């Protein structure tokens, strides 16, 4: 009976984790990882300590990258410190205007930051688009990780 409860809670965590890839208020990969932990505590499957620690490390890396990839996108698309700092400010301000603020915040922050730094509109737009592509890359990375966790969960039960 406890196994059924843990499995159902694990499924709920995986679904919530997948939703968290798109909803910024939910930390997707950590919630999906919690689903795997719940399955680990059943009699159905036992993951090794190495697997669990490796997955935890990957989750931590993805969570950290999720905040820095938009700034790196801005930087590597020709942005300056102004754009990088604007991207960070836009990300933080965007948190208050969910859900679109989290998508548009880094873009607008990098764009406006570059304009304040004296860059031309075209260069500022390129930096802003770099941060947007960085954000989209981070979202895809989270989806891949949560999808892998869901696959691990399903394959362990079958």
Residues 84/75, Cβ–Cβ less than 8 Å: yes
In degrees and rounded to multiples of 5, residue 28 shows phi and psi of -55, -60
Confidence of residue 90 (pLDDT cuts 50, 70, 90): confident
Per-residue pLDDT for 60 more than 90? yes
Residues 33/62, Cβ–Cβ less than 8 Å: no
Average pLDDT, the chain: 88
Per-residue model confidence (pLDDT) at position 132: 84
How many structural domains are present in the chain?
1
- Domain of residue 44: give its range: 1-157
Q: Which residues contact 110 (CB under 8 A, 6 or more apart)?
A: 70, 74, 79, 83, 84, 86, 87, 90, 124, 127, 128, 130, 131
Per-residue pLDDT for 23 more than 80? no
Confidence of residue 123 (pLDDT cuts 50, 70, 90): confident
Per-residue pLDDT for 143 more than 80? yes
pTM: 0.80
Shortest CA distance to 90 belongs to which of 72, 105, 77, 100?
Answer: 105
């Amino acid at each position: 009976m406890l196994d059924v409860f843990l499995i159902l809670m694990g499924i709920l965590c995986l679904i919530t984790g997948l939703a968290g890839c798109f909803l910024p208020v939910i930390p997707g990969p950590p919630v999906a990882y919690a689903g795997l932990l719940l399955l680990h505590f059943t009699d159905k499957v036992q993951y090794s300590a190495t697997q669990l620690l490796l997955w935890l490390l990957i989750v931590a890396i993805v969570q950290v990258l999720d905040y820095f990839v938009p700034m790196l996108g801005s930087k590597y698309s020709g942005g300056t410190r102004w754009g990088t700092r604007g991207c960070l400010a836009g990300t933080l301000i965007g948190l208050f205007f969910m859900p679109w603020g989290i998508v548009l915040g880094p873009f607008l922050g990098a764009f406006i930051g570059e304009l304040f730094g004296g860059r031309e509109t075209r260069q500022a737009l390129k930096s802003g688009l770099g941060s947007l592509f960085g954000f989209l890359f981070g979202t895809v990375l989270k989806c891949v990780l949560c999808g892998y966790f869901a696959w691990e969960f399903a394959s362990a039960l079958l």
